[in-house]
Amino acid sequence: MMPVSPFSRQRRLALSAALLPVLSTSLRAVAAEALPPALRIAAVSRTGPSGKTLFAGSSALVAEQGWLAAELGKLGVKLEWVPVTTNSVAVQVNEAFANKSIDFAQYGDLPSIIANASGLSTQLVVPGGSMNNTYLVVPANSSARSIKDLKGKKIALHRGRPWEFPFSRLLAANGMTQKDVRILNLNPQAGASAVASGSADAFFTLSDAFLLEDKKVGKIIWSSKQAPQNWKMRAELWGDSAFLKKHPQLAQLVATAYVKAHQSAIGDNGRENYIRHEVAAGQSRSLVEREWEGDNTDWNERWAPLFTPELRAHYAAGAAYAQQARLIGRPLDTSKLYAPQFVEQALARLKLQNLWASR
Amino acid sequence: MNPGVLTAGARGLGLAEHARKVVQSGQPESPAPARTMRARKQRGLVERWLDWRFSGWTSPLLVLALWVAATELALAPEQILVPPWQVVTSGWELVQSGELGEHLSISLVRLLSGFGFGSVLGVVFGLAVGLSPRLDAYTAPTFQVLRQIPSVALIPLFILVFGIGETFKVVIVAKASFFIVALAVHDAIKSLPVRYLEVAAMLRFSRLQAIRKVVLPAIVPATLTGVRIALGRSWMVLVGAELLAAESGLGQMMEMARQMFRLDVVMVGVVLTGLVGLALDRGFRLLEAYLMRWQRR
């Protein structure tokens, strides 16, 4: 048997006394950082041909790269993709932000403005990555050639969606206001059947316009392809402000992952890879290609994750429009909507400061 | 024998079978004796509460209390679970801007025109199939199948056929009320007590006389009930249709508000839809009581 040293007890006490503060500080650190079990990102999804849920846009690239899921996994946080359907992305995402069931969402400009004006607090984390153009479709047998011919006519438009702002620009550029046409507030599906059956004289929407052309029930008389840049709708990565504040390190991972996705999209085969994803998610290749055909935007520019003066001007103008169109009840200070620190950090970490620096 | 001919007896009205059943079961046709004589000796707290003239407010006030409690405890974010007073304020703002009045009046016009068409057609059709077993036999399968299709499920189809204008909304409301009213009238005729027609036969009424003096007055109560149910159903269907496709109306006000993330306005719509439904039902009950006042003499 080992003799018990008279000092051992004291030494043990001293040791634990020395350890105690260390232990408690580390406990406190854990409490402060208490990571959520999961990080949830909402993204537009379609049901793919195999019945699998597939995501659209840059979220699909992030999911494919798997880097974000792995990095979060190291911290014991699970990455969850929350699918939202194209028919009502705006409503679903805003309601999900309100009841805290998502932390990030890749969605449009006007819905974000509406959310922030009604008391939610979200911030733009990674700009760019939106490929969408907007289109004005009329029934195949219509004689209308431009928006001017639709004065006093019924136009289907889903209100509060990101393509409403380009629509207002189009009206304004032709010296018209919303009062000059009759807006039918219909979701994209109902709008398509309304224009196909001729009960609406026109339909303002996204690339689903091509499907109407393919079925020979509609023809596109205007698209935003050649329109000024600030007419284009934006859809980008937004985060819940409270989450960004509470878990900046997780937000950083998300931002870095999206910047990496943007980087891969402008790299070799990036464009082809992107098309492949869209096709896998149920879009036809010809539709994706037609969406970009004749577009005046440079491919690399589309993916620039930069908080440019143009971007800020776009949101300021969008908020002004929303208030004037009474989509929101009070003015919104859009300068609070940006959280550029994450992208800056990501660009620095990935050494990509000069990749999009042309502007 | 030709079942299409109205004989002096009950057979022509398809009542023989019913009469037989009544005889076999030995049930009296008249309703049970009035329950007003129930013992009122024990007046416990619950019963006294139930007798109090305002006791009908119990459940609405409980719902309101739950609502207030849920908002106070912040069970859901304020953007989603709007407190009642904010709903009242938003409602008042909508009234003052005239927006609410506009939506409500357009919805009511749609309701009344659709319901008017539907219920008149329903009464006519119900009478025709109730009085003519042959017509009944011809139309019953189609009628029974169409009746089972929920009106809401027909909305997309109706949009394709009638467009998204007013026609579609009036037609869908008319469809909703037609089947309920037609069925009520049909069943009322089928369940007429045989002895009514025996009396008519004894008095040597002609077929027209029998219909005018016996059948029509006898089916009024059941018809009114059917019409009242149809009114309520039409209102629900209309608001549903407006949610999907309309430029204006209460349902559209709610849908638009949801898109604008104004759940307070959505709640205004929800509360108002319920209140309008209740008012329509109560109003019709009063009308029913007035029309049936002769019964109470």
Instruction: Note the pLDDT tens digit of each residue in A339-349.
Output: 999 999 999 99
| Same domain membership, residue A246 and residue A257 | yes
> Residue A106 has what pLDDT?
92
Q: What own/partner pairs with CB < 8 Å and gap ≥ 24 does B36-41 have?
A: none
CB B175, CB B118: distance < 8 Å: yes
B163 and chain A in contact, CB less than 8 A: yes
Give the chain A residue whose CA is nearest to the CA of B90. Answer: A329
Amino acid at A333: D
B261 and chain A in contact, CB less than 8 A: yes
> Residue A76 has what pLDDT?
94
* Residue of B160, B165, B256 lying closest to A185 (CB–CB): B256
% of residues, chain A, pLDDT over 70:
89
Beta bridge partners of A123: A239
Average pLDDT, chain A: 87
Residues of B in contact with A120 (CB under 8 A): 79, 261
Close Cβ partners of B60 (under 8 Å, ≥ 6 residues apart): none
Tell me the H-state helices in chain A.
6-33, 58-65, 67-74, 89-98, 109-117, 164-173, 188-196, 208-214, 241-246, 248-266, 270-280, 285-292, 299-302, 309-324, 341-349
> Residue B158 has what pLDDT?
85
How many domains does the structure of chain A reveal? 2
* Residue of B79, B165, B258 lying closest to A91 (CB–CB): B258
CA distances from A167 to A129, A142, A233, A325, B177 (A): 21, 19, 10, 12, 40
CB atoms within 10 A of CB B164: 26
What is the C-alpha to C-alpha distance for residues A133 and A295, in angstroms, rounded to an integer?
A: 9
* Residue of B160, B256, B258 lying closest to A197 (CB–CB): B160
Inter-chain residue contact B255 with A185, CB threshold 8 Å: yes
- Band of pLDDT at residue B248, cut at 50, 70 and 90: confident
Which range of A9-18, A246-255, B192-201 scores highest in mean pLDDT? It is A246-255
Overall pTM > 0.80: no
Instruction: Return the half-sphere exposure (C-beta side, CA atoms, 13 A cut-off) of residue B67.
Output: 16
| Same domain membership, residue A227 and residue A148 | yes
Question: Mean per-residue pLDDT for B162-172?
Answer: 87
| Same domain membership, residue A80 and residue A66 | yes
A197 and chain B in contact, CB less than 8 A: yes
Q: Is residue A122 part of a domain?
A: yes
Q: Is residue A279 part of a domain?
A: yes
Rounded to 5°, angle at Cα A42 from A36 and A48: 125
> Residue A104 has what pLDDT?
96
Residues of A in contact with B259 (CB under 8 A): 90-91, 158-161, 185
For residue A174, which phi and psi values (nearest 5 degrees)? -100, 20
B242 and chain A in contact, CB less than 8 A: no
What is the C-alpha to C-alpha distance for residues A216 and B32, in angstroms, rounded to an integer?
A: 67
What is the C-alpha to C-alpha distance for residues B82 and B74, in angstroms, rounded to an integer?
A: 10
A200 and chain B in contact, CB less than 8 A: yes
B255 and chain A in contact, CB less than 8 A: yes
Amino acid at B278: L
What does the pLDDT look like over B30-62, one tens digit per residue?
Answer: 444 444 445 555 677 788 888 887 878 888 889
What is the C-alpha to C-alpha distance for residues A346 and A350, in angstroms, rounded to an integer?
A: 6
- Using only C-alpha atoms, chain B has a radius of gyration, in whole angstroms, of 24
Of A142, A149, A221, nearest in space to A180 by CA: A149
Q: Above 50 in pLDDT, residue A187?
A: yes
A199 and chain B in contact, CB less than 8 A: yes
- Band of pLDDT at residue B14, cut at 50, 70 and 90: very low
Mode of pairing for the β-strands spanning A104-108 and A53-55? unpaired
| Same domain membership, residue A114 and residue A171 | no
What does the pLDDT look like over A36-80, one tens digit per residue?
Answer: 999 999 998 877 666 677 787 889 899 989 999 999 999 999 999
- From A198, A231, A264, the end of a domain falls on A231
Residues of B in contact with A197 (CB under 8 A): 159-160, 163
What is the residue range of A151's domain?
135-231
Question: Mean per-residue pLDDT for A314-333?
Answer: 91
Q: Above 80 in pLDDT, residue A356?
A: yes
- From A231, A249, A282, the end of a domain falls on A231
Q: Above 50 in pLDDT, residue B20?
A: no
A276 and chain B in contact, CB less than 8 A: no
Q: At what angle do helices B216-244 and B151-162 cross, to 10 degrees?
A: 70
Q: Among A157-161, B9-13, B69-73, whose mean pLDDT is lowest?
A: B9-13
Residues of B in contact with A119 (CB under 8 A): 78-79
- Band of pLDDT at residue A228, cut at 50, 70 and 90: confident
| Same domain membership, residue A215 and residue A81 | no
- From A213, A231, A249, the end of a domain falls on A231
What is the C-alpha to C-alpha distance for residues B243 and A31, in angstroms, rounded to an integer?
A: 47
What is the C-alpha to C-alpha distance for residues B295 and B297, in angstroms, rounded to an integer?
A: 6
Inter-chain residue contact A185 with B80, CB threshold 8 Å: no
- Band of pLDDT at residue A33, cut at 50, 70 and 90: low
Beta bridge partners of A79: A39
Inter-chain residue contact A99 with B159, CB threshold 8 Å: no
What does the pLDDT look like over B250-265, one tens digit per residue?
Answer: 999 999 898 888 888 9
Instruction: At A103, list the tokens.
Output: 């932390």
Distance from CA of A10 to the nearest CA of B (A): 52
What is the C-alpha to C-alpha distance for residues A351 and A354, in angstroms, rounded to an integer?
A: 8
Question: Mean per-residue pLDDT for B91-120?
Answer: 93
Tell me the H-state helices in chain B.
16-25, 45-51, 58-72, 84-97, 99-131, 133-148, 151-162, 166-190, 194-202, 207-209, 216-244, 250-259, 263-291
Q: Is A338 helix (H, G, I), strand (E, B) or coil?
A: strand
Which range of A85-99, A246-260, B29-43 scores highest in mean pLDDT? It is A246-260
Q: Above 50 in pLDDT, residue B130?
A: yes
Average pLDDT, chain B: 83
Q: Is residue A354 part of a domain?
A: no
| Same domain membership, residue A246 and residue A113 | yes
- Number of residues in chain B: 297
- Band of pLDDT at residue B75, cut at 50, 70 and 90: confident
> Residue A241 has what pLDDT?
96
The CATH number of whichever domain residue A306 belongs to comes to 3.40.190.10
| Same domain membership, residue A108 and residue A59 | yes
Three-state SS sequence of A30-89? HHHHCCCCEEEEEEEEEECCCCCEEECCHHHHHHHHCHHHHHHHHCCCEEEEEEECHHHH
Expressed in angstroms, the distance from the first to the final Cα of chain B is: 42
Question: Mean per-residue pLDDT for B177-205?
Answer: 91
* Max Cα–Cα distance, chain A, nearest Å: 106
| Same domain membership, residue A332 and residue A255 | yes
The position carrying tokens 């209100």 is: A159
> Residue A251 has what pLDDT?
96
> Residue B26 has what pLDDT?
46
DSSP B32: P
CB A111, CB A162: distance < 8 Å: yes
The position carrying tokens 């050649």 is: A226
Q: Above 70 in pLDDT, residue B3?
A: no
| Same domain membership, residue A246 and residue A311 | yes
What is the C-alpha to C-alpha distance for residues A125 and A235, in angstroms, rounded to an integer?
A: 12
Question: Mean per-residue pLDDT for B90-96?
Answer: 91
* Residue of A95, A159, A197 lying closest to B163 (CB–CB): A197
Residues of A in contact with B160 (CB under 8 A): 193, 197
Inter-chain residue contact A160 with B76, CB threshold 8 Å: no
Q: Is residue A9 part of a domain?
A: no
- Number of residues in chain A: 359
Name which of B154, B159, B260 to mutate to probe chain A: the one with the most chain A Cβ atoms within 10 A of its Cβ: B260
- Band of pLDDT at residue A1, cut at 50, 70 and 90: very low
Question: Mean per-residue pLDDT for B168-184?
Answer: 94
What is the C-alpha to C-alpha distance for residues A247 and A120, in angstroms, rounded to an integer?
A: 18
CA-based torsion, B30, B31, B37, B42: positive or negative? positive
Q: Is residue A203 part of a domain?
A: yes
- Band of pLDDT at residue A196, cut at 50, 70 and 90: confident
Name which of B160, B261, B265, B266 to mutate to probe chain A: the one with the most chain A Cβ atoms within 10 A of its Cβ: B261
| Same domain membership, residue A58 and residue A193 | no
Q: Above 70 in pLDDT, residue A354?
A: yes
Inter-chain residue contact B245 with A186, CB threshold 8 Å: yes
Q: Is residue A26 part of a domain?
A: no
Q: Is residue A3 part of a domain?
A: no
The position carrying tokens 């960004």 is: A244
* Residue of B159, B256, B259 lying closest to A193 (CB–CB): B159
What is the C-alpha to C-alpha distance for residues A252 and A67, in angstroms, rounded to an integer?
A: 13
More confident residue, B35 or A159: A159
% of residues, chain B, pLDDT over 90:
40
Tell me the H-state helices in B73-132.
84-97, 99-131
Q: Which domains does chain B have, with CATH numbers?
A: 77-296 (1.10.3720.10)
| Same domain membership, residue A119 and residue A185 | no
A160 and chain B in contact, CB less than 8 A: yes
Name which of A99, A112, A185, A217 to mutate to probe chain B: the one with the most chain B Cβ atoms within 10 A of its Cβ: A185
Close Cβ partners of A172 (under 8 Å, ≥ 6 residues apart): none
Inter-chain residue contact B164 with A95, CB threshold 8 Å: no
Q: Is residue A14 part of a domain?
A: no
| Burial (0-12, 13-18, 19+ Cβ within 10 Å), B106 | buried
Q: Above 80 in pLDDT, residue B9?
A: no
| Same domain membership, residue A237 and residue A343 | yes
Give the chain B residue whose CA is nearest to the CA of A326. Answer: B260
Q: Above 90 in pLDDT, residue A30?
A: no
